[in-house]
Amino acid sequence: MIELKDISKIYKSKNGEITAVKNVNLSINKGEIFGIIGYSGAGKSTMIRLLNGLEKPSNGTVTVNGKQISSISGNELRNARQKISMIFQHFNLLWSRTVAENIAFPLEIAGVSKTERSKRVKELIDLVGLSGRENAYPSQLSGGQKQRVGIARALANNPEVLLCDEATSALDPETTDSILELLLDINKRLGLTIVLITHEMHVIRKICNRVAVMEAGQVVEQGDVLRVFQNPQAEITKNFVMQVSGTKESKESIEQILANYPTGKIVKLTFIGNKTEQPIISQLIKEFGVEVNIVHGNISQTTGGPYGTLIVQIDGDSTKVKQALELLDQQEVQTEVIDHA
């Protein structure tokens, strides 16, 4: 559906060249929700502008639904863009138009008849949960309702790709979740390919199938969300995962744990999928007679299944402790001995 090959984007300035995107290769499947995450300045905004043809790459090719967006122009590019819609952080609504009129706007531009416009607008208002608000103006809406209008407007021309540029960053956590649930529902109902640009790992965890992590214009890591959560490789990815898993162990916290549990081994366990529901701790106690104290634990849900981390103290006979750790490996539980107590 979407293919980026050897993409680079270099801007010229008075102080020399600035590389916003460097040697990016990405493949996004039809019908999936793909997340691109990075901090400010990582190159995310440039990436989304390359995807919809607002920017041309300095090198490489961008292909969306069989059209090489990076090389076409004029009417051909305008026609291709009709199948690539976008929603924004700050909604970009027309404040002098009602909800219905905002949603109808792209249909007017496309020359759709008034009768067909009215029918389509009603369908979209129902789809995004705004029935009864069609005659309200943006100033009369909450942030979440404004974003629902933005989503409905983006869907007006039956796009095949929906680009979301920090679409939930201006919303409170509860409203963010409701918008993410709406996007997930739209993806399932319409089979729409969704690309999410964000700096929030919660957004990735909540609805994305796969993720690419950007830093300094480069993709430093990509893969299935669950696997990235389980075993992040890049330091920046580890930081993002820590945002939602609550598993960041500072030097001070480790020292405090070791002070509180001076014997045995302190072990960090990582579970994925149905392993999070297995009584592994009780199995260790029964089978090896070791003492297991839970120091810290957390379970996060991803679209690929649950992901859990647990920090425990395993104490007892050294041979039995070793056997317990071996059993954990056999159970496909990722183990990391933080330090010897």
Statement to judge: residues 184 and 276 lie in one domain: no
Contact in structure between 147 and 86 (CB atoms under 8 Å): no
Q: What is the CATH number of the domain that holds 181?
A: 3.40.50.300
| Residue 261 and residue 231 share a domain | no
Phi-psi region of 48 (alpha: psi -120 to 50; beta: other; left: phi over 0): alpha
pTM of this structure: 0.82
Q: Give 218's strand partners.
A: 215
Q: Consecutive sets of 10 residues in the chain, 341 residues long: mean pLDDT of each?
A: 95 90 96 96 93 93 91 88 90 95 95 95 96 96 96 96 93 94 95 95 92 96 89 90 64 69 82 69 87 80 76 88 85 74 42
| Residue 66 amino acid letter | G
Domain count across the chain = 2
| Residues 257-293: tens digit of each pLDDT | 777 777 888 888 877 766 556 788 888 888 889 988 8
Of 244, 277, 296, the residue at which a domain comes to its end is: 244
Secondary structure letter of residue 232 according to DSSP:
-
Q: Do 18 and 154 fall into the same domain?
A: yes
Angle (nearest 5°) at CA 335 between 334 and 340? 170
What are the tokens at 276?
Answer: 């999070």
pLDDT tens-digit series, residues 165-200 = 999 988 999 999 999 999 999 999 999 999 999 999
Provide the residue range defining the domain that includes 27: 2-244
